[in-house]
Structures are given as structure tokens and as C-alpha cells.
Structure 1
Amino acid sequence: MSLRLGDTAPDFEQDSTIGKLHFHEWAGDSWVVLFSHPADFTPVCTTELGLTAKLKPEFDKRNVKAIALSVDGAEQHGKWIRDIEETQHTVVGFPILADIDRKVATLYDMIHPNQSETATVRALFIIDPKKKLRLTLTYPLTTGRNFDEVLRVLDALQLSDQYSVATPGNWKDGDDVIIPLSIKDEEVIKQKFPKGYKAERPYLRLTPQPNK
């Protein structure tokens, strides 16, 4: 059965490049970006892991841990990491799960038979500190992911959690945000959004980003 937003992210123990990894324990109180790859020593995956490694300072600012997965073994991952670091000019500072038995891939529905019977698709999950699934993205084998979008969504989710706002299409950090329809009381709105708001329609109320 596929995972749905708001579900508890399944826990697991699996081998990885940092040894046996107990997922929920490893995640701790951090947000997590869990993402899968079809195989080691493949070109698109190499660029994606390089990009993720370079984003470590941005992930750290957002209290985010990254963890990758493919169905190859930890020893092979180690050899591949050397290639990634040399070709992408970075240091891979996050673990890669060695999901040889496809235990995690099955838990997270990462194998789509119409794409491949054995390789995982480019699945990505954002999981919050309460271990709740907050976002899923699935890309085909031939298309690399947009990691700028991953950062944008993390910013939006964390902003929404802290300030009870929604974010419009193409929102970026610093743009106006939306007061949700669930907040109706004007006194509450004044308290929560002291910068005021502009109502394009009664249901479309825009206010400056609260933490800017």
C-alpha cells in the first residue's frame, strides 16, 4: 500500500555507508530528506548526490538530514562515493542505504515495475521531526530532480508549521504568504499578522512573510 501525506514514515533497520542504521533513531529531532536512486555508478544519480552533498550547509540551517538509497551494497557505495566526490568536487557527508534486499524500497513503494522490475525510481520523501510524511516526489529514471525545489518546499513547510500560513504558487522565501481560510476571526488575524493583509477576494488574503 502506498504512503500518504500525514502517515508515519515507516521505521526500519538497514545497512548503510555508516553501518547498520536504525532510521527513526538516526533521524532524531531533525527533518529528513530520504531519496532513492536506480543504481550506483550511473550518471544522473552521480550528479544528484553531488548536488545534495553541496547543499549540506543549507540543510543544516533548516535542521535537515539527507539520506540516500539504492539497492546496491555498502562496499559498492563506498567506491561510488569516491567517484562522486572527484567528479562533482564535493564531499558526500550523508549516508547511503544499502538496500540489497529491497526492504526499504518495498516499505516506501520505490520500485515501479513499469519503470524497472528491480531498480528504484527517483522517489523523494520529506519527513518532519514527528516522523510524519510531509511531501512525496517521484521522478522517472531519466530525469534528475530539482533540489532547489526541495529547499523551497522545506522552507514553505517549516514556515507554515511555525506561523499557520499557506504559500502561493511559485512562492520563494521573502514573498507574501496566504492567511488560511481556517482563520476567520479578525482579532486573531491582527494578533497573528500584525503587518496587516491585502484581500484580493474574501478567500484570498495576502500578508507579508511573518519572519521577515
Structure 2
Amino acid sequence: MLLLGDIVPNLDLNTTEGKFKFHDWIGNSWAILFSHPADYTPVCTTELARVAQLMPKFETRGVKLIGLSCDSVESHMGWIKDIQCFGKLSGDFPFPLIDDHKREIAIKLGMLDPEEKDSSGHALTCRAVFIIGPDKKLKLSILYPATTGRNFDEILRVIDSLQLTSRAKVSTPVDWKPGTECMVLPNISTQDADKIFTKGYETVELPSKKHYMRFTPAP
């Protein structure tokens, strides 16, 4: 089971775009590994079509995507045709799908959904989202059950937050969107905040008299 801050294993992957080591494929990019219960399933088909449609937005953020399903490369290749048809997509499919028909990767990374089984009684892969930084460390994980499709607009928002907070001394508040106010990290003193945040910041007065709610324009 991966924890935040862990280095993601340098897996040997067999995919629809050939065989490679996971870290080699990531390179110096951000990456998203997202898993699916099975090929030729309805919710997964909607998700993969949506991600393919959103690829230009991920690419502008320097993010690579790779999917995983507990089926073979041959099965993936046939399924991709259905995904492209459903999503009205043309040309080459824009990201690889990993062959995990033995469930070895899903088990190693803790991706199985014990509540959902296939026709053989095996646990299905849940809808995991692992966001990985250029340092190959896990930055965020979300586990959805097999029955609930993901919101990839939210995942784009999360990427924006992760990339911003990796380079600036801020955090992002509830429902934050790019361009809106951020928050000064609570471990930054008032003296340091005055130096760091040249655009200024606003401190919210609270009954506790503690000055931890500090809002600043987006860097």
C-alpha cells in the first residue's frame, strides 16, 4: 500500500505502447496512474473517453497519464476502439493502458475493491488515482469504488494546486480554483510572511485571537 511521500515502485510495465520501466516513462514529468475495474465496462469507458478529450489540458500542465486494468494488452486494444467511438475520438489513442491480467500490480499498490467481484469471484480493481511528482514520489491518492465514476475536472484542479504549492509557500483553501486567493502556510512567521508575500496578505480576526487565517493573492 502506497502512502503519501513514498517513492512509487519502478514497475516493469507491459502496455498498449510497449514495454518499459515506470520511472523511465515518467521522466521529469508529473504523472497520473489511474486504474479501472475491467475492460469493456460502461463507467470505465466514459472515464477513458473523457481523459482522452482532456489530454491537451493535462499536457499543458506537463502531466503524463497511464491507465491500468486487469486485462491483457490484446483486450485493451480492442476496447480502445469502443472508447474512441463513444468519445468521438480520432487518431492514435493519447495514453497507454497497462496489462495487469494477473492483478500483480493492483495487489502491490493496494488497488483492489473487496466489495466488487468479477464473474469468477475475484475482487475488481477499484478506481484509484495516484498523482506522482517528477521525484517519483506519491503526491496524492484517491480511491473510488468500482461503482462511482471519477470527476477529472476535479483532478485537473488538484494538479493545479499540487504544482502551485510545490513551488510557493502557500496552501489552497476549500473549493480553490486557479487564480483565486491562497493561504499563507501556518508555519511561516509574521516577519517572514511580510518579506515573502510582496502582494500582501489579509489576516482574518477570530475569537481565538490566533492569526492563522491569512489569505494572499495567488502567486
TM-score category (smaller protein):
over 0.9
The partner residue of 1:191 within 185, 190, 195 is: 195
Q: Hey, what's the Cα distance between the residues in 1 that align with 2:95 and 2:20?
A: 12
Q: CA deviation at 1:162?
A: 0.9
TM-align CA RMSD: 1.1
Q: Hey, what's the Cα distance between the residues in 2 that align with 1:157 and 1:3?
A: 18
1:181 alignment partner in structure 2 = 186
1:40 maps to 2:45: no
TM-score normalised by structure 1 residue count: 0.94
Q: Hey, what's the Cα distance between the residues in 1 that align with 2:98 and 2:123?
A: 16
Alignment of 1:43-54 (within 5 A): 43-54=42-53
Report the secondary structure of 1:105's partner residue.
helix
Q: Is the 8 A contact 2:45 2:83 kept in 1?
A: yes
1:67 maps to 2:66: yes
The partner residue of 1:122 within 112, 119, 127 is: 127
* Stretch of structure 1 that moved more, 188-197 or 135-144: 188-197
Report the secondary structure of 2:204's partner residue.
strand
Q: Is the 8 A contact 1:10 1:107 kept in 2?
A: no
CA deviation map 1:62-113 (0-9, x unaligned): 1100000001100110111011111111253100001112121112111132
- Count of equivalent residues: 208
Report the secondary structure of 2:193's partner residue.
helix
The structure that is strand-richer by fraction is 2
Q: Hey, what's the Cα distance between the residues in 2 that align with 1:21 and 1:49?
A: 21
Letter in 1 for 2:26: A
Q: Is the 8 A contact 1:165 1:178 kept in 2?
A: yes
Alignment of 1:102-141 (within 5 A): 102-116=103-117, 117-141=122-146
Q: CA deviation at 1:140?
A: 1.2
Q: CA deviation at 1:145?
A: 0.1
Letter in 2 for 1:194: T
* Stretch of structure 1 that moved more, 45-54 or 116-125: 116-125
Structure 2: stretches of 5+ with no match in the other structure: 206-210
Q: CA deviation at 1:185?
A: 4.4
Letter in 2 for 1:144: G
Q: Is the 8 A contact 1:38 1:122 kept in 2?
A: yes
2:86 alignment partner in structure 1 = 87
TM-score normalised by structure 2 residue count: 0.92
Q: Hey, what's the Cα distance between the residues in 1 that align with 2:82 and 2:67?
A: 16
Structure 1: stretches of 5+ with no match in the other structure: none
1:142 alignment partner in structure 2 = 147
CA deviation map 1:15-69 (0-9, x unaligned): 1101112111101011111000011111100010011111111111111000000
Moved over 6 A (4+): none
